[in-house]
Amino acid sequence: MTPKNNRKQRALVAKIKATQASTLMEVVDALLSDLSRMRRKQFLKNRCVTLRGVPTEQFDAPVKNGDEVRVYNIGFPAEFTSPYASIVWKDDELILLHKKRGIATVSNHPGLKNTLFRLVANYVKSYDPHEKIFLLNRLDSETEGLILFARSRETQQLILSSWRKFFIDQRFCAVVEGLFEKPEGELKGVVKNKSEVQTSSQKPLTRRSKTTYKVIKEGEYSTFVEIVLHGRFNGIRTLLKEENMPVVGENIPTAIFQNSKELLLQQASLTFIHPHTLRKMHFQLPIPASFQAFVKRPMTRGEKKRAMEQQPAIPPQYSRNKKEN
């Protein structure tokens, strides 16, 4: 079952071919003379007016003899510009963005207003005050990746209720501290003992989805790894910490690599089924060159010292790898 698109569709309200020189506001006044002056200005403000086929908000734009002016019920979007994100793809049902590091997807504490959700909501409302967006996935502030928004609640609920049917594949790349015992496997984190099992009066445990990994390249004591999220709930950073293999760049006192300027974790690709057309959609981001460069670089004396101080927490393959090198 595909969602119904209940969003208002763009339709032509009025058009005219100018017979004399004037300003755009004068032409709009003549075209929409039955509306109030404020309402006519609103059409311009919301980018509902095109001059020679180009949307414009400029009320005093010169109109020449023969120019065509059209007025629509819904405005045309301006270019989305932000240092924190860019639009990768969109249609009438979905909007996909490339989220940069440094901005939260949604507010996670009172007072946080600079979020990706707010940026996109303000953008769509700039040309259609009635449009809303609905979040489908999220990433931490420090993580770069792809964020998908639905443009109707019906589309959002359809995808969330059948997540595995629509979200086919979510892949991440990361550089982590340490070396895996096996070249691929599942990240399971810490198994809780009976004393740590949640009681009914406690907060619910964090929901997690199956998460697998595959080693791409090993360094002296770091690993470039591909991680696949097999469900909706992203707990990659927590799982890796519990495995004593945190992502390089984590702000933790036990970190061995303490000079990384960024978290070396990125969502590399996203594959999903479009809920309306049922087409498979695949989007991929380039892997930062800094990831592989970090794995190739030799450890500093301070990093080696911190690594040795953490024994026996450090897995035995570090000593084996050190001998091999």
Q: What is the CATH number of the domain that holds 145?
A: 3.30.2350.10
Q: Which residue carries 């997540």 as its tokens?
A: 163
**CB 268 within 8 Å of CB 172:** yes
Q: Mean pLDDT in each 10-residue stretch from start to end of the chain (325 residues)?
A: 64 94 95 94 92 93 95 89 95 95 88 89 86 95 97 96 94 96 90 38 60 95 96 91 94 91 96 96 96 94 88 50 48
| Pair 23, 109 in one domain | no
| Pair 230, 139 in one domain | yes
The CATH number given to whatever domain includes residue 42 is 3.10.290.10
| Pair 40, 143 in one domain | no
| Pair 182, 236 in one domain | yes
| Pair 101, 41 in one domain | no
Phi and psi at residue 149, to the nearest 5°: -115, 140
| Pair 24, 89 in one domain | no
The total domain count for the chain is 2
- Pairwise CA distance, residues 185 & 163, whole Å: 23
Nearest to 264 by CA among 241, 284, 251, 248: 248
| Pair 147, 263 in one domain | yes
The dihedral over CA atoms of 120, 208, 285, 84, expressed in degrees to the nearest 10, equals 30
| Pair 166, 18 in one domain | no
Write out the residue range of the structural domain in which residue 67 sits. 12-72
Q: Is residue 278 part of a domain?
A: yes
**CB 281 within 8 Å of CB 274:** yes
> According to the model, what pLDDT value does residue 194 have?
33
| Pair 174, 90 in one domain | yes
| Pair 225, 290 in one domain | yes
| Pair 119, 49 in one domain | no
> According to the model, what pLDDT value does residue 79 have?
87
Q: Is residue 175 part of a domain?
A: yes
Taking the alpha carbons of 300, 303, 309, 314 in that order, is the dihedral positive or negative?
negative
Termini Cα distance of the chain:
57
- Pairwise CA distance, residues 322 & 325, whole Å: 5
> According to the model, what pLDDT value does residue 200 have?
35
Nearest to 307 by CA among 267, 248, 234: 248
